[in-house]
Structure 1
């Protein structure tokens, strides 16, 4: 057994064992967190290089207390909470052809071709936990956290229409599709269940989504 395997054998809830190639950004995305929060909870500088096999805290130090505080803040900020999202109740973020499938060349999501400026929709109700361009390979990206442990990410946008902390409803326009440097307009769409990347096509309705207006 390698030192890495031994060190990552018994990871308690609320922690994550760093694997080769991990960054604060990628781990934060996987757990629906903000990179700055992970850095603060672990006493790291933003963008710090991570040591393989190190245990990182991925939940707030006092999770139950902060969860109650966040719940109270959410209720005061909006008059209604997003409806829960369940497997099988997602919609397509855009209407278009899937040009890159999950798992192809190590892809953790799919790419859906469309037209520049096409509205990008939230696939289910949830709350925006990230909106920006801090993860360069995704360009302008929005990450939405849903109930039931699901997180969805929408990358390669030309414009973001929501802010971190916003509650979104299913079908709400959250961004506008952008174009790659080569000129092809497409959406990078990823979905996670807990900390694991899952194939969006296993959760989206068969066929393409409704035709965008």
Structure 2
């Protein structure tokens, strides 16, 4: 592993807590991100030094809000953030990665095969095309769209029961206020901003959780 991909002492503690005995798989995933992921344009080269802190740990930590053996649909998976992170952190979860771009789907499938992950499937298409074939307990999304639009793409995949877990930044509360009517119309019963990973991450993850049903 190159120097840029090494973990700090704090990151190591967080990674060990999140990934446990699957940490080596997480490290191999990060190597994929830093090599073929950059080469194929899934991430910019400037992201390499912060792959662990800003991307992988930031995404994987949301596993703590998910029940055991749940089905999870990750919308707009791209480089597998957060979908692949969750599949590595939690072998009990069943992940469906929904991604419209073929080149990204090919990359995701290659990484899944290399890591030997058996709890994750890649489906090429847009979220709205997957409503009839995906029924998830949780839907995740990161850097896909503002909540006003994202709600309509994701909540139907829950089929009236479950939670949207959207990784967001400091504008989370503002996004919620703008999307309140759309969320309610789609069946959202409770919407809140959560800060996840405060005890183990230098920069905790902010998520919007919308409960449906």
Q: Could you state the TM-score of these two structures normalised by the residue count of structure 1?
A: 0.30
Whose RCO is larger (CA < 8 A, sep 6+)?
A: 1
Q: Which has the higher strand share?
A: 1
Name the larger-Rg structure.
1
